[in-house]
Amino acid sequence: MSLSRFAFPTAIVFGEGARHELAPSLQAQKLAHPLVVSDRGLAQQAFFKDWLAELQAAGLQVSTFTELGGNPVKSQVLAGAAAYKAAGADCIVGIGGGAALDVAKAIAVAATHPHDLFDYEDRPGARPIDQSLPPWFALPTTAGTGSEVGRSAVISDDQSHAKKIIFAPELMARQVFADPELTLGLPPALTAATGMDALTHLVEAFLAKGYHPLCDGIALEGLQMVQRSLVQAVHTPGDKPARAEMLLASLMGAVAFQKGLGLTHSCAHALSTVTDMHHGLANGIMIDHALRFNLVAVPERFDRLAQTLGLESGPVFFDWLRALKQEIGIPARLSELGIQASQIADLVTVAQADGCHANNPRPCSPDDFRQIFQEAL
């Protein structure tokens, strides 16, 4: 048997009110000048302003960078790095969805490394992240990306919109404060889209090639949480137990996908690049269309997914996916959002170049991607 290496090192504070633990934690670590990174919409909410006031009342010298919106791009990261340096900050606090948390990580790189941000992209021949990074702390406000426990930041090029992945173990948050109360204000449509993102992470991690029983177990447990709580979180936004379970499922999905992802994510990344579609929504639309391609390769894995959900067999799993999408308002097909056949060639090009399908249990050629996108129309 070959050697396998496993690591689950992130320190997590989970539960209602976890956000209030940030200030004493920073002080205990002799950190006094956080740069808080978030998006424009979140920065206008009352809870955000109250939370900033709480940090300031604790004696912290707080600076903010909230010039984020939509999919994160390099120019936002560079502006955030300039804000970090100008403030004389000693740490970074990311609060928000995956975009804010990814930008927070990337700011840590850009503020301490001299070359172009994309020189540190996760690819052969890239420059290493070899300078000490400022500590960063994560407070997720959506239950989808799981970026709070991830080791990568996905940042788009401003002009081409191509997504670049910056990856290093040093990008992991020093501490995560996962507070379900921060997700209560999430609208139903965004709750559904981010929930489908978490679900896709869990399922694709379980299906991904490679030996990682720890990730497999976490993925299956998270899948059960989504089954119990996603519909409830969408239709009853104030249900705290459902929100808490979805926040955990999201976090667990990101832990699990250190094993790998698959072709659904490559399709979703293509849709975000070509059409600027929300990543979670893209995953939600594509998941059943894309994953059916894998059924012939690993039928026993789909049987285990079905058994975890209390279903009869792997093929029935797809019936469950379609019913779930309908119940929470995720479009069944791309054409419902105006995607046209003329865009498929560009989608195939981007999907084929994306690295996620390298871990897919069945190789996926350009012709395969073309057929999948056509079927999803």
pLDDT in tens, 270-279: 999 899 899 9
Average pLDDT in the 170-187 region?
94
**Which pLDDT score is estimated for 4?**
63
Question: Is 90 exceeded by the pLDDT of residue 6?
Answer: no
Query: pTM of the full predicted structure?
Result: 0.92
Average pLDDT in the 120-128 region?
91
Residue type, 75: S
> In whole angstroms, what is the distance from residue 258 CA to residue 214 CA?
11
Question: Is 90 exceeded by the pLDDT of residue 161?
Answer: no
Question: Is 90 exceeded by the pLDDT of residue 162?
Answer: no
Question: Is 70 exceeded by the pLDDT of residue 11?
Answer: yes
pLDDT tens digit sequence for 125-140: 899 999 999 999 999 9
**Which pLDDT score is estimated for 232?**
97
Question: Is 60 exceeded by the pLDDT of residue 64?
Answer: yes
Helix (H) or strand (E) holding 364: none
One fold for both 12-183 and 188-376? Answer: no
Q: Where are the beta strands (DSSP E) in the chain?
A: 12-14, 34-37, 63-65, 91-96, 136-140, 152-156, 163-167, 175-178
**Separation of CA 155 from chain center:** 12
Angle between helices 366-376 and 263-275 (to 10 degrees): 70
CATH class in words for 12-183: alpha beta
Task: From the options 2.60.40.650, 3.40.50.970, 1.20.1090.10, 3.40.50.300, give the CATH code of 188-376.
Answer: 1.20.1090.10
Task: Specify whether the CB–CB gap between 77 and 110 falls below 8 A.
Answer: yes
**Which pLDDT score is estimated for 312?**
92
> In whole angstroms, what is the distance from residue 377 CA to residue 372 CA?
9
Domain boundaries, the chain: 12-183, 188-376
Q: How far is CA 163 from CA 204, 246, 258, 342, in A?
A: 20, 26, 19, 22
Q: Percent of the chain, pLDDT > 70? A: 98
Task: Specify whether the CB–CB gap between 103 and 74 falls below 8 A.
Answer: no
10 Å Cβ neighbour count for 104?
33
Residues in the chain: 377
**Which pLDDT score is estimated for 253?**
96
Instruction: Match 């799981």 to its residue by tokens.
Output: 146
Confidence of residue 7 (pLDDT cuts 50, 70, 90): low
Beta partners for residue 176, in sequence order: 12, 138
Average pLDDT in the 282-294 region?
98
> In whole angstroms, what is the distance from residue 249 CA to residue 201 CA?
10
Average pLDDT in the 241-246 region?
96
Q: In the chain, what are the helix, strand and coil shares in percent, each to the nearest 5?
A: 55, 10, 35
pLDDT tens digit sequence for 329-349: 999 999 999 999 999 999 999
Question: Is 80 exceeded by the pLDDT of residue 3?
Answer: no
Closest CA to 290 of 270, 308, 274, 313: 270
Largest CA distance in the chain: 59
pLDDT tens digit sequence for 292-307: 999 999 999 999 999 9
**How confident is the prediction for the chain on average, in pLDDT?**
94
Question: Is 90 exceeded by the pLDDT of residue 163?
Answer: no
Beta partners for residue 363, in sequence order: none
**Which pLDDT score is estimated for 136?**
97
Grouping H, G, I as helix, E, B as strand and the rest as coil, residue 121 is strand
Give every CB contact of residue 369 below 8 A, 6+ residues apart in sequence.
Answer: 263, 266, 267, 347, 348, 351, 352
> In whole angstroms, what is the distance from residue 47 CA to residue 56 CA?
14
pLDDT tens digit sequence for 203-233: 999 999 989 999 999 999 999 999 999 999 9
**Which pLDDT score is estimated for 262?**
97
Closest CA to 149 of 259, 25, 254, 37: 254
> In whole angstroms, what is the distance from residue 15 CA to residue 104 CA?
22
**Which pLDDT score is estimated for 160?**
86
Closest CA to 149 of 256, 71, 57: 256
Grouping H, G, I as helix, E, B as strand and the rest as coil, residue 352 is helix
**Which pLDDT score is estimated for 10?**
87
**Which pLDDT score is estimated for 78?**
97
Confidence of residue 69 (pLDDT cuts 50, 70, 90): confident
Grouping H, G, I as helix, E, B as strand and the rest as coil, residue 7 is coil
Question: Is 60 exceeded by the pLDDT of residue 1?
Answer: no
Average pLDDT in the 258-285 region?
95
